[in-house]
Chain A
Amino acid sequence: MSTLRIASPGQPPVTIYVDGIPVDAWEGETVAAALIAAGHSILRFTPRLRQPRGIFCGMGICYDCVVVLSGAGAVRACMTRVRPNIRIETGAARPGKSGRPE
């Protein structure tokens, strides 16, 4: 278990996919937490200056933590809960990857 996780959550982990790679996560935690626990502190790159961004406000107002959730498009990682088998892509240029708003 990631050294950034505290205690044993008392339930088995689920698998989510981050940039194609399977990762342990726990249902009920936010996608932001799961990503940080898995070592992904960079959630996206800014469109103009290509700067890395992670979570900032943690409560859904800054829109820095936007990642792409398969089937849902661009979502705020801090406001989205982990569910089994979800697929996340980080490093998107802006809300809406590869030139398309999603």
Chain B
Amino acid sequence: MESTDIAIVGAGPGGLAAAAEATRAGAQVVLIDENDGPGGQYFRLRRSGVSGPVGPATRTMELKSRLLKEIDSSRLRGLYHTSVWGVFPGEMLALERDGEIDLLKFRRLIVATGAYDRPVAFPGWTLPGVMTAGAAQALVKGSGVLPGRRVLLAGSGPFLLPVAEELAAAGATVVSVLEATRPRAWLPCLARIWGRWEQIAEGYHYMMALRRAGVPVRFARIVKEACGGDRISEVVTVAVDAQWHPLPGTEERLAVDAVGIGYGFLPSTEITRQSGCTHHFDELRGGWLPVHDHEMRTSVQTILVAGEAAGIGGARVAMLQGRIAGVTAARDLDYRDASTTDRRLRTVRAALTHQRAFADVLLDVFRPRPGLLELVTDETLICRCEEIPASQIARYQTAWPSDLRNWKGVARPGMGLCQGRICGRIIAALVARQTGQQEQQLGMPTARPPVKPVSMEALARLDVQAEQYVLSTADQMRMIRDSGHRQDAGGSVSA
């Protein structure tokens, strides 16, 4: 079993920033990511030979370059194409790579596992061609392939804009960008935007780019249904009120061959939930989140968190939190760098406060409204993996209070390979609505290892000292023999 000073899970903005600070301070760091290389979703590797639009996207790549240069690579070991499936007592990280399991002992763990596009269910959402906005972006940016020739983007929030720009610049016809909010909902945002020149410039850049490309942006409209035989051929959109309730009679049909849905992000909190960190429910920043202090420590002494996994906030927040976490973890282990002065940290903290506040404003303005849940019909599949429709979830209403765990046990969603990531929040919202409770009252879903699918064969080959007594076949056989004796003796009880 290997060991290291600081293990960082996730090589996106948060993880890279943490790695930069920690290695500079002198700590040995292992950086782990499921992808082929560093960057995560935000700094997605652009395939060579494929150029993208100039502007914020270019600046993002420059930022990544600078961050990578900050890392002292002599102290960094990058483990890519590697998944982290559990944290075990004794500060052990369980990894899987290429069908082999490794254990990594750490002194500090920084969880920077990022986020994923919020899944939103509606009729036809499982059709080929319907994907998340992130998936559409990954195809174009990462591989230079369009998801379709006629693409509709729909959802809420600023993320739709760079995706639209990327698609348009790549030659797709972006038939429309649908933003569920209406501009007057942005007033709180506009009031707080003064002084944030970078964000203003970015917003302006995207709006101009879309205008030049002839991409219509429509407000207060959402995707209601995706239609098609074996793949999507048409999308039905509908106007919505301020709470995103569909307004009957406003449906429109559009011929498309791909749809990108982007309603914000959900944090990947499986590792912090599984490892015993205390969590609290914060609807705005993505639901159940690990409680952390300003040094990015969780309630578990050896575990820190940074980035989206600590609460949705965007890449700038992630990088600043990552720096703080990296410094904190390194300092815990008595590693200090000349540059990790209190003064610099104060600057970082001030910047974090500043960015966090703006991120929160955006989250609030573009938060999902209750009307979205109305798109779900009885037949709409909720558990995509196991093909369980909403009616199956709804049929177990009882006269006595239940909890989410029991609902799920009975309706049986979440047993598939996504381990409940896609259906989890949707089910919680449906059950909450059905039982008249708040989602928070349903309790936090438990996470246990493995938090990623892990090969049975690899588990069988695990090289581990038995730290707990586990029933063995020899013991089973002994039991059978012993019970035979007991039977002979007339069933006497040991006293």
Contact = CB atoms under 8 A, between A and B. Distances in A.
Interface of A: 2-11, 26, 28-30, 32-34, 36-37, 41-43, 46-49, 51-64, 66, 78-79, 81, 95
A78 B139 CA distance: 9
28 contacts: A5-B144, A6-B144, A6-B145, A7-B50, A7-B51, A7-B170, A8-B49, A9-B49, A9-B50, A10-B48, A26-B47, A30-B142, A34-B143, A36-B145, A37-B145, A41-B128, A41-B231, A43-B128, A48-B386, A53-B128, A53-B384, A57-B135, A57-B422, A58-B134, A58-B137, A59-B116, A61-B418, A81-B36
B140 interface: yes
B370 interface: no
B117 interface: yes
Given A28-B47, A58-B139, A5 B421 contact: no
B418 A62 contact: yes
Interface stretch (B146-154, B359-367, B441-449): B146-154
A47 B385 CA distance: 10
B140 A6 contact: yes
Contact of B126 (A30, A41, A51): A51
B134 A4 contact: no
Contacts of A30: 138-139, 142-143
B296 interface: no
B41 interface: yes
Contacts of B214: none
Question: Main SS of chain B's interface residues?
Answer: loop
Interface string B119-161: 1000000111111101111111011111111000000000000
A36 B128 CA distance: 10
B139 A63 contact: no
A13 to B, nearest CB: 11
B55 interface: no
B387 A61 contact: no
B295 interface: no
B198 interface: no
B188 interface: no
Given A30-B143, A33-B144, A81-B36, 17 more contacts: A29-B145, A33-B142, A33-B145, A34-B143, A41-B231, A46-B387, A53-B126, A53-B384, A54-B127, A54-B231, A55-B135, A56-B132, A57-B131, A58-B132, A58-B138, A59-B135, A64-B126
B422 to A, nearest CB: 5
Nearest to B421: A61
A28 B47 CA distance: 6
B417 interface: yes
Interface residues of B, number: 47
Q: Which of A3, A10, A26 has the most CB of B within 10 A?
A: A26
A7 B170 CA distance: 8
B231 A52 contact: yes
A79 B48 CA distance: 17
B49 A7 contact: yes
B11 to A, nearest CB: 13
Nearest to B170: A6
B2 interface: no
A3 B149 contact: yes
B230 interface: yes
A61 B116 contact: yes
Nearest 6 Cβ contacts at the A-B interface: A58-B135, A54-B128, A33-B143, A63-B417, A29-B143, A10-B49
B371 interface: no
A37 B143 CA distance: 10
A59 B139 CA distance: 10
Nearest to A35: B145
B34 interface: yes
Nearest to A10: B49
Q: Which of A32, A56, A78 has the most CB of B within 10 A?
A: A56
Given A55-B131, A59-B134, A48 B170 contact: no
A51 to B, nearest CB: 6
Q: Which of B135, B147, B418 has the most CB of A within 10 A?
A: B135
A17 B75 CA distance: 41
A5 B143 CA distance: 9
B54 to A, nearest CB: 14
Contacts of A2: 145
